[in-house]
Amino acid sequence: MEKKELPKISIVTVAYNCEAVLAQTMESVAAQDYPNIEYLIIDGGSKDNTLKIVEQYGEQVDFLLSEPDKNNYDAMNKGMKHATGDYVWFLHAGDLALEPTTLSQAFAAGQNDDFVYGRVKVLDEAGTEIPWHKQHPSPEELSWKSFRNGMVICHQAMFPHKDIWTDYRFEDYGLVADLDWSIRTLQQAKSFRDTETVLCSFLKGGLSAKNRRASLIERFHILRQHFGLFPTLWEHVQIFGQAIKRGKISH
């Protein structure tokens, strides 16, 4: 299939002082055999060699912005603002597109669904895979209501079409804004497609994992906004009870 018949994929990499991991991310993008990619780097004003690494892949990068930002989600908003593709894919510094054929397999037939998604491989600091999808199985039929218990799909495994994400931005939540964005974006989607493939790998340990208490408070506010107070309260009571049973919370 010719390039003009395939949807353009805008890959957005958010970076900040990430000289140790950025090159492997960019290499995984450069290795893609998909012919219609736009690559954007949104850097938060790095002080290390991050920008020198970007320069080494100059021909690969279609857009570079380097300036201070509030947080990762602010940088992601900037990426969406400048993206011109049919779909956006967030692949941050340290994340890896799993195979050179990842995009060509996901969009082989040039489908134009509102929301395309898949799986991720979550790794710990030692590089050991964490069974994330066993703990958070993908729903048989995806909708925004699938997120009533939180993120069932990582944002690194999402390809929302421009028709449903151009009017929505990550709100001013510092830790779990992707939950709110995912719900609001999916509310606009009419067609969905599960690639049934692992799209990328990423390291566990983002801001929400490192600030567990604050992220749970944000999560509660977001879910209450979309699903109501009492259903959200009940859901969190169940989570708390399960955590006690697993011994993660003493009582």
Domain locations along the chain: 3-209
Q: What is the mean pLDDT of residues 103-124?
A: 89
Q: What is the mean pLDDT of residues 240-251?
A: 57
Confidence (pLDDT) at 135: 56
Q: What is the mean pLDDT of residues 70-93?
A: 94
Top-confidence residue, 115 or 227: 115
Q: Which residues have a Cβ under 8 Å from the Cβ of 26 and sit 6 or more positions away? A: 13, 53, 54, 57, 60
Most confident of 16-30, 167-181, 195-209: 16-30
Comparing CA positions, the residue from 175, 184, 169 lying closest to residue 77 is 169
Determine the CATH number of domain 3-209: 3.90.550.10
Comparing CA positions, the residue from 200, 203, 201, 198 lying closest to residue 124 is 203
Distance, CA of 105 to CA of 85 (rounded, Å): 18
Question: In this predicted model, what pLDDT tens digit does every residue of 160-200 receive, in sequence order?
Answer: 999 998 776 787 777 888 999 999 999 999 999 999 999 99
Top-confidence residue, 27 or 235: 27
Top-confidence residue, 124 or 113: 113
Most confident of 72-76, 99-103, 192-196, 235-239: 99-103
Confidence (pLDDT) at 133: 56
Confidence (pLDDT) at 172: 74
Q: Which long-range contacts (CB under 8 A, 24 or more apart) does 173-177 make?
A: 173/73, 173/218, 173/221, 173/222, 174/70, 174/71, 174/73, 174/207, 174/214, 174/218, 175/207, 175/208, 175/211, 175/214, 175/215, 175/218, 176/151, 176/208, 176/215, 176/218, 176/219, 176/222, 177/73
Q: Evaluate if residue 250 carries a pLDDT over 50.
A: no
Instruction: Give residue 251's pLDDT band: very low, low, confident or very high (50, 70, 90).
Output: very low
Q: What is the mean pLDDT of residues 141-158?
A: 89
Q: Evaluate if residue 21 carries a pLDDT over 90.
A: yes
Top-confidence residue, 18 or 229: 18
